[in-house]
Amino acid sequence: MKTDELREKYLAFFESKGCVRRPSDVLVPKGDKTVLFTPAGMNQFKSQFLGIGPLEFTRATTCQKCLRTGDISNVGLTAYHHTFFEMLGNFSFGDYFKEEAVLWAWEFLTRKEWLGLDPDRLTVTVYLDDDEAFGIWENQVGLSRDRIRRDDEHENFWPAGAPSEGPDGVCGPCSEIYYHPPTGGKEVEIWNLVFTQFNRVGPPPDNLRPLPKKNIDTGMGLERTAAVLQGVESNFEIDTLKQVCLAAGEAVGVPYAFASEHGRALRRIADHVRAVAMCVHEGVVPDNVKQGYIVRLLLRRAMLEGYLIGKHEPFLYSLVGTVFDVMKAAYPDVAGSTESVATTVREEEEHFLGIVDRGLAKFDRIVERCRKSGEARITGEDAFELHTQDGFLIEMTEAMAARHNLAVDADRFRQLLDVHREKSGAGVFLDAVMAEGPLDAIRKTSGGTQFLGYEVTTVDAKVVGIIAEKQLVESVDEIGEGHPIAVLLDRTPFYGEAGGQVGDVGVISEEGVLFQVLDTQRDDDLLLHIGHLRRGTLSVGDTVRAVIDADRRAGIRRAHSATHLLHHALEQTLGPHAMQRGSKVENDALRFDFSHKGPLTPEERLHIEDLINARIAEGAPVSTVVVDQKTAKERGAKMLFGEKYPDRVRMVTMGEFSVELCGGTHLSNTGQVGLCRLIAEEPVAKGVRRIVAYTGHRALERVRETESLLADVARALRVSQPQELVRRAEQLHDEIQTLKRELSQFTKASVGETVETFLSEAETVSGAKIVCRRVDGADRDMLREFADQLRSRAGSAAVLLATEIDGKVALLAAVSKDLISSKGVKAGDCVREAAKAVGGGGGGRPDLAEAGGKDVAKIDDALAAGAAVYRKALGAAG
RNA sequence: GGGGGAUUAGCUCAGUUGGGAGAGCGUCUGGCUGGCAGCCAGAAGGUCAGGGGUUCGAGUCCCCUAUCCUCCA
């Protein structure tokens, strides 16, 4: 059975049991800051499992795109590990329970019209004391007792080990179904049924309280089950992934076969490139933070495998088409983005090869050093430096070291990495309050926060929760900056950061109490006012007044509406491909990333700015309505790729030209933007450009700053009109050049004359001239020129020159080469001795040394002291 | 968010315990020369990212800022 067929059959089967077929959630779940990527099928149903909010349905089934990196080192090595994979699931929220879950699973697996697996090849497990599940398997399914195994809480409980070790919260026993292949190979776990039926409260005993509403959460690995059905020994041999492996072999230049030399490497490439392609499709591009970083890491690990086989140029990008070919049946929208995803991947590959290239120089130096010192291995410190500064994965350093017959101290490396991890710490500000447990608890007791900020800026509300240090607290009285505190209200005017728009700031107050809100974040339907208490004691249950900084909000509204105008202007100017890739909206400032190849021309920039300001000038009305998704689509609202929208959406319309789905705060008329100026246009990633623009006050200030800067420069350069600035600057530059040249020629000439005099008046010791003179009005460069000329004209010379610069003494000594080698005369000895006389110090090389001192009056003493050193050195040796 | 590193000629980069700013490529000029990075000679081109400090003296040491790279979260 093909993988696509399996996926469809599963969903169809559970639809026939009354489950609502829901689309896969996106890979980066929105409104859930507790995970980087969607790790399992149940993730999108978190609030349903918690019993929060209205239930539109009580049974569901999905095929969920998932990404996990915990077992990344096993990928390609074992038969079943992946980073990206698909999870088939059926879910019950207080609806059906164990009996149905078990019987339906059995029916789907064994009935001819569904999977038709041989029942004799299946065994199951249940949790130690879950007699209910045991009974269902034995009596209703009819399995003999020897095919039902009881396992402990680490195997058959979710979360693993929860009863004795926690965490607190919903949990339950599970039951797993195993397949035993006819080849006699190892058994395969193909389905895990989780019976969520307890709430854990504290440590044992008697800590598992039955839930009033019991849930079902099951997961069946798509690739695993496909492997079973197709009778192959590894997930990578199924119809879909095998194609990617074959394509990877072709791209790297070695044929793929499961047991071949490069099989493991090619499987890794296939797995990682699939994960990368699916992520990039959803707009998660390689980057150095969060999800983007994981994508970059996956991409680089995949590249590394190819690199070590000998492929030293980009190749992953060429696999994107194959990946999307095998994924498009389930996710049709991937087909359209092959080209842009491939371009992004290729760009990152080229980037990485460039980094490796640069790092190779350092690597070679390290190898060379090892060879010289006879070391047999590269130190952990060196490997760590290659890792943290040049992006060399440890595997890469090891493989490349092996080619030079060197090992790598990997233990030390890992030790250093651990220290590094420790030092890096976690994000302190948000982490302290965005804790899952307390948030769920507040959600349960009080429901979501009612947001009133579209209409008003001030709201009287009730405090429903306070979080400090990841704990729910009844009240806070700690004044100050120490630890961030999150306050939750039943209703609020504060906008929580979302859709690129930053969170509001402001104050929450009551009689004698003041809480300053520095940021507002959201967790799904909860709004968290994050900040510090300034006065009094704030307690849960208090009635407070919540007031946002309205001026700042007004600037944010201007910037947000201008963002829509910019989006519109970009499409008009550059074409429909200029789609939004990300945005940030702040107080009168905005940042907008969009798809486009290459930099914009100055004309395009001007045209975009003109278009935006034309829309502002025409004063088009801005209206906001909440409609269902279908209506919005019909109205032609812009939808983003890889973005998942709720069924009811907020649609923002401006005049006749712009319709977007947007939860942000907007103006009522485009004219209120006032002025919009493009400030910068820059690359973010290949195929993605960023525009920064200012609106309102800030745009005006920017213009004024530029003007006043020009005026200042004009004043400084003594021109009456800014138009003359360029000519004036060029003229000045030329003048300085000419003067410098003239000065140095003049100096050389005048030095030449004086040098003759100095030499004729110099004393001679053992055939060498000793010149110790004061040169008034010279600078350090001039002293050098003197020393050079004296040495070259005299042949053998020992020189000490002194001058006064800025009220301090400058000394310079020089000795010709012959005196250094034959008599051991050193300029440094002389200058040090001389410097003592003027209260300073110095040094340098034998042929040239410099020093300085403070006592100008003693310059002659210094010269005498220097001359004495020379005399002694020359005399003693001669 | 934190750690490490980088920033020197148009480009790619050297620059040793602090003591005279360099190379290759490119550009320009002159000469030589039938070829695939033509050859030879000469020249122009630098606030050593910016600011502060230590020092007689800072590209070099310390602090701050900006930008980029990289690792960790």
Taking only the tens place, the pLDDT of each residue in A334-381 is 888 888 888 888 878 887 887 777 777 778 777 877 777 777 888 888
Residue whose Cα is closest to the C1' of B71: A388
Mean pLDDT (whole number) for A650-674: 90
Nearest-Å Rg of the Cα atoms of chain A is 37
Nucleotide with the nearest C1' to A385 CA: B4
**DSSP string covering A658-696, please?**
EEEE--S---SBGGGG--EEEEEEEEEETTEEEEEEEEH
The 3-state secondary structure of A397-423 reads: HHHHHHHCCCEECHHHHHHHHHHHHHH
Nucleotide with the nearest C1' to A741 CA: B44
Which pLDDT does position A874 carry in this prediction?
86
- Residue A189, classified by CB atoms within 10 Å of its CB into exposed (0-12), middle (13-18) or buried (19+), is middle
Nucleotide with the nearest C1' to A428 CA: B1
Nucleotide with the nearest C1' to A357 CA: B12
Residue whose Cα is closest to the C1' of B45: A737
Mean pLDDT (whole number) for A538-555: 92
CB of A811 within 8 A of CB of A792? Answer: no
Nucleotide with the nearest C1' to A840 CA: B56
Which residue in A803, A804, A800, A806 sits closest to A832, CA to CA? A800
| For helices A380-390 and A410-424, angle between their N-to-C axes, nearest 10 degrees | 50
CA of A726 to C1' of B37 (A): 38
Mean pLDDT (whole number) for A779-804: 87
Residue whose Cα is closest to the C1' of B13: A358
Which pLDDT does position A428 carry in this prediction?
43
pLDDT over 70 at A481, yes or no: no
Nucleotide with the nearest C1' to A287 CA: B70
Measured CA to CA in angstroms, residue A820 lies from A682, A783, A788, A824, A873 at distances of: 58, 20, 15, 5, 10
CA of A270 to C1' of B32 (A): 58
Residue whose Cα is closest to the C1' of B3: A424
Residue whose Cα is closest to the C1' of B5: A389
CA of A354 to C1' of B40 (A): 36
pLDDT over 80 at A72, yes or no: no
Which residue in A559, A566, A571, A582 sits closest to A499, CA to CA? A582
% of chain A exceeding 90 in pLDDT: 31
**Angle of CA points A298, A301, A307, to nearest 5°:** 140
CB of A107 within 8 A of CB of A16? Answer: no
Which residue in A691, A564, A585, A570 sits closest to A637, CA to CA? A564
Nucleotide with the nearest C1' to A844 CA: B19
CB of A579 within 8 A of CB of A283? Answer: no
Nucleotide with the nearest C1' to A288 CA: B70
User: How far is it, in rounded angstroms, from Cα A519 to Cα A612?
Assistant: 30
Q: Whole-angstrom distance between the N-terminal and C-terminal Cα of chain A?
A: 101
Residue whose Cα is closest to the C1' of B56: A852
CA of A335 to C1' of B34 (A): 55
Return all residues near A177 (Cβ < 8 A) that are at least 6 apart: A105, A109, A122, A123, A124, A189, A190, A191, A192, A193
Residue whose Cα is closest to the C1' of B6: A389
Which residue in A200, A215, A212, A199 sits closest to A100, CA to CA? A215
CA of A389 to C1' of B69 (A): 8
The answer to pTM > 0.90 is no
Mean pLDDT, chain A, integer: 84
CA of A714 to C1' of B20 (A): 38
Nucleotide with the nearest C1' to A831 CA: B56
Q: Mean pLDDT: which of A53-62, A631-640, A776-785, A851-860 is highest?
A: A851-860
CA of A855 to C1' of B59 (A): 29
| CA-based torsion, A612, A617, A620, A626: positive or negative | positive
Which pLDDT does position A427 carry in this prediction?
40
CA of A737 to C1' of B27 (A): 19
| For helices A320-327 and A338-373, angle between their N-to-C axes, nearest 10 degrees | 130
Better-scored residue on pLDDT, A618 or A731: A618
Nucleotide with the nearest C1' to A297 CA: B71
Which nucleotides on strand B sit less than 7 A from a protein beta carbon? 1-5, 13-14, 17, 19-21, 45, 55-57, 69-73
pLDDT over 50 at A429, yes or no: no
Nucleotide with the nearest C1' to A832 CA: B56
Return all residues near A711 (Cβ < 8 A) that are at least 6 apart: A722
Residue whose Cα is closest to the C1' of B2: A424
Nucleotide with the nearest C1' to A789 CA: B20
User: How far is it, in rounded angstroms, from Cα A620 to Cα A102?
Assistant: 59
**DSSP string covering A295-351, please?**
HHHHHHHHHHHHHHHT--S--GGGGHHHHHHHHTTT-GGGGGGHHHHHHHHHHHHHH
CA of A778 to C1' of B9 (A): 28
% of chain A exceeding 70 in pLDDT: 93
Q: Outline where DSSP puts E strands in A73-207.
A: 84-93, 122-127, 148-151, 157-158, 169-179, 188-200
Nucleotide with the nearest C1' to A290 CA: B73
Which pLDDT does position A666 carry in this prediction?
92
pLDDT over 90 at A37, yes or no: no
Mean pLDDT (whole number) for A144-165: 87
CA of A705 to C1' of B65 (A): 21
Which pLDDT does position A431 carry in this prediction?
52
CB of A616 within 8 A of CB of A677? Answer: no
Nucleotide with the nearest C1' to A388 CA: B71
Which pLDDT does position A498 carry in this prediction?
79
CA of A92 to C1' of B18 (A): 74
Q: CA A279 from chain center: how many Å?
A: 14
Give the tokens for residue A377: 């291995």
What ipTM describes this predicted complex? Answer: 0.81
CB of A815 within 8 A of CB of A771? Answer: no
Q: CA A821 from chain center: how many Å?
A: 60
Helices (DSSP H) in A720-858: which residue ranges? 725-761, 780-794, 817-823, 827-837
Measured CA to CA in angstroms, residue A323 lies from A116, A463, A687 at distances of: 29, 50, 20
Nucleotide with the nearest C1' to A426 CA: B73
Nucleotide with the nearest C1' to A389 CA: B70
Give the tokens for residue A156: 């058959």
User: How far is it, in rounded angstroms, from Cα A424 to Cα A292?
Assistant: 18
CA of A744 to C1' of B66 (A): 35
Q: CA A88 from chain center: how many Å?
A: 30
pLDDT over 70 at A494, yes or no: yes
CA of A686 to C1' of B36 (A): 34
Better-scored residue on pLDDT, A117 or A680: A117
The 3-state secondary structure of A228-258 reads: HHCCCCCHHHCHHHHHHHHHHHHHHCCCCCC
pLDDT over 70 at A482, yes or no: no
CB of A153 within 8 A of CB of A162? Answer: yes
CA of A426 to C1' of B3 (A): 12
CB of A110 within 8 A of CB of A116? Answer: yes
Mean pLDDT (whole number) for A88-111: 92
- pLDDT-derived band at A59, boundaries 50, 70, 90: very high
Which residue in A193, A163, A161, A188 sits closest to A176, CA to CA? A193
Mean pLDDT (whole number) for A312-331: 89
CA of A706 to C1' of B51 (A): 22
CA of A866 to C1' of B4 (A): 47
Per-residue pLDDT tens digits for A370-411: 777 777 888 888 888 888 877 788 878 888 888 788 888 888
pLDDT over 70 at A758, yes or no: yes
Which pLDDT does position A878 carry in this prediction?
44
Return all residues near A417 (Cβ < 8 A) that are at least 6 apart: A384, A387
Residue whose Cα is closest to the C1' of B70: A389
User: How far is it, in rounded angstroms, from Cα A148 to Cα A125?
Assistant: 5
Buried b (16+ CB within 10 A) or exposed e, A370-396: beeeebeebbbebbbbbbeebbbebeb
Unique residue bearing structure tokens 């306070």: A466
User: How far is it, in rounded angstroms, from Cα A770 to Cα A758?
Assistant: 10
Which pLDDT does position A631 carry in this prediction?
86
CA of A703 to C1' of B33 (A): 58
User: How far is it, in rounded angstroms, from Cα A384 to Cα A2?
Assistant: 45
Per-residue pLDDT tens digits for A264-293: 889 999 999 999 999 888 878 777 777 788
Nucleotide with the nearest C1' to A429 CA: B1
A374-380 long-range contacts, CB within 8 A, separation 24+: A375/A406, A376/A406, A376/A407, A377/A401, A377/A406, A377/A407, A377/A408, A377/A409, A378/A406, A378/A407, A378/A408, A378/A409, A379/A409, A379/A412, A380/A408, A380/A409, A380/A410, A380/A411, A380/A412, A380/A413, A380/A414, A380/A415, A380/A416
Q: What share of chain A is helix, strand, coil (3-state, %, to 5)?
A: 45, 25, 30
User: How far is it, in rounded angstroms, from Cα A824 to Cα A821?
Assistant: 6
CA of A421 to C1' of B73 (A): 7
CA of A375 to C1' of B45 (A): 45
β pairing state of A148-151 and A122-127: parallel
Per-residue pLDDT tens digits for A591-618: 888 777 666 776 788 888 999 999 999 9
Which pLDDT does position A426 carry in this prediction?
44
CA of A544 to C1' of B2 (A): 36
CA of A602 to C1' of B33 (A): 45
Which pLDDT does position A690 carry in this prediction?
76
CA of A748 to C1' of B13 (A): 33
Give the tokens for residue A204: 């044992």
pLDDT over 90 at A705, yes or no: no
